[in-house]
A = this chain, B = another copy of it.
Amino acid sequence: MARVGLTAERLTQAGAELADEVGFDQVTVSALARRFDVKVASLYSHLKNSQDLRTRIALLALEELADRAADALAGRAGKDALTAFANVYRDYAREHPGRYTAARLRLDPETAAASAGVRHSQMTRAILRGYDLTEPDQTHAVRLLGSVFHGYVSLEMAGGFSHSAPDSQESWSRALDALDALLRNWPAP
């Protein structure tokens, strides 16, 4: 029996590709085994269970997203940084819908705390340094930005803005304009 060289990492990577191809909730241990031309039970030496696989894909997606975001943020500030950061999310979701869905998987608190999710909020805070916000407004703004980015991308991914004028790209640009204006003019309580 020739060994294929399965590892948790390769399985996670292949699972992420599978997610992008067939949708995150169609990612199954069986489908992954087929992809490696290997019996299903063999995967259980590398994965605790099906949920473990999904979690690993989620963590991978969070890392990839954070890496891209860090790249995009380098050398930028203000609205430039805001736009670049936001576009990373949107572009990633378009390129990797399955991974993006995975990144939204609910993680248990310890896993979440050890994930790249914390880099995401740190970077959002970094962007806000280009605006004149102090605590607790900065936290409110972090949450609002996260909501808009995730909300817009998620609705767009669900097809909410297709087949209707104006173009979604236009609304996205205007949403970023609006957020920039809002952050420069954050209302007092």
Shortest A107–chain B CB gap in Å is 9
> For the complex, is A163 an interface residue (Cβ under 8 Å from B)?
yes
> For the complex, is A38 an interface residue (Cβ under 8 Å from B)?
no
> For the complex, is A146 an interface residue (Cβ under 8 Å from B)?
yes
Q: Which of A131-189 contact B (CB under 8 A)?
A: 136-137, 139-140, 143-144, 146-152, 154-155, 158-161, 163-166, 168, 170-171, 174-175, 177-178, 180-182, 185-187, 189
Contact residues of A: prevailing secondary structure: helix
Shortest A151–chain B CB gap in Å is 2
Contact A147 B151 (CB under 8 A): yes
Q: Which residues of B contact A185 (CB under 8 A)?
A: 181, 185
How many positions in chain A have a CB within 8 Å of any CB in the partner chain? 42
Contact A150 B144 (CB under 8 A): no
> For the complex, is A104 an interface residue (Cβ under 8 Å from B)?
yes
Copies of this chain, count:
2
Contact A154 B154 (CB under 8 A): yes
Contact A154 B144 (CB under 8 A): no
With both beta carbons as reference points, the residue of chain B lying nearest to A139 in the complex is identified as B166
Q: Which residues of B contact A106 (CB under 8 A)?
A: 158-159
- Complex Cα distance, B108 from A163, in Å, reads 13
With both beta carbons as reference points, the residue of chain B lying nearest to A105 in the complex is identified as B158
> For the complex, is A5 an interface residue (Cβ under 8 Å from B)?
no
Contact A136 B170 (CB under 8 A): yes
Q: Which residues of B contact A37 (CB under 8 A)?
A: none
